[in-house]
Amino acid sequence: MRRTLSLLTVICLGHVLLISAQVQSRTGVPVLESAAFGAFSEAQRGLTSVTDFGRGIWGNYFALRGAAQENQALKQRILELEGEVQEQQALAGRARVLEDALGLRQSQPAPTLAARVIAGSPMPTVLTVTVDRGSDDGVEPDMAVIGAKGVVGRVIAPIARHAATVQLLADQYAGIAVTFERAAAGGVAVGTGNTSLRTKYVPVLAVVQSGERVMTSGQDGVFPPGFVVGIVDAVTGQGADREISIRPAVDFSHVDVVLILLSKPTKAGGATE
């Protein structure tokens, strides 16, 4: 009798797992996969907290020797950042004057949410990371993710309550609408699965040169305009056979803190939703 009850329990659990694997959640991800992602993300958050605690002990009690030098370096960096902020404010001011002159609706900065990277993808062919912000924080699919130096990627499913998946811009299935700063031409940059991006749909007559900056155009409805994507690394070939390689501004092998943009631009690259 006990053996029969055990067998019946195993069969029932098997049916539940099979049904969960087939039923999809609101984001289109199977319920079983979504539940597993939520469970693993909580474990990753716990491991990150333990690691941070150990680092805190080391930093507070054993790494005081170089505190003075680090403090001086931080002060210097703050001064440099303040200069950059002032420069950006001046550029923004000129943009507002132009918008007023043209009678355009003024652009508003998108609200952002800071997040920490708590895990990377276990699959070498999939370039994604997991961050410690999720649906409870207002995170949704197709929200842009940026770093200190430029665009990191976008939020994709699955998303848990306190964790979300970010597809890195270098992933082979990633794409972003861009504009070349000097050539004033648009196109699409796509990932290659390694450290570079390649371009598509760039006008043949556009004079694109190595070393010029590549910015987001806002035409894809995900990334607001004006964020740095990278720098043109090489231009080879001519005409329709021309290939343009872009070196990303972000080092995707070392991403630890990011900003999630909580609103999306319109495809015209103007006001946010």
pLDDT digits (tens, 9 = 90+) for 12-41: 555 555 555 554 555 555 655 565 566 656
Q: What is the pTM of this model?
A: 0.65
Pair (20, 123) in one structural domain: no
Is the same domain home to 83 and 156?
Answer: no
Q: Quick one: 155 and 211 in the same domain?
A: yes
Q: Specify if 235 maps to a domain.
A: yes
For the chain, the average pLDDT equals 78
Q: Would 273 be classed as within a structural domain?
A: no
Q: Are 264 and 272 in contact (CB under 8 A)?
A: yes
Confidence tier at 271 by pLDDT (50, 70, 90): very low
Residues 45 and 94 in one domain: no
Task: Say if residue 97 is in the same domain as residue 129.
Answer: no
**Residues of the domain holding 35:** 2-61
Q: What is the pLDDT of residues 188-202, one digit of tens each?
A: 999 999 889 999 999
Phi–psi pair at 59, nearest 5 degrees: -65, -35
Q: Residue 238 — very low, low, confident or very high, per pLDDT cuts 50/70/90?
A: confident
**Residue 130: other Cβ atoms inside 10 A:** 23
Neighbours of 173 (CB within 10 A): 11
Q: What is the pLDDT of residues 48-90, one digit of tens each?
A: 666 666 566 655 555 555 666 677 677 667 766 655 665 565 5
Taking the C-alpha atoms of residue 131 and residue 129, their distance in angstroms, rounded to an integer, is 7
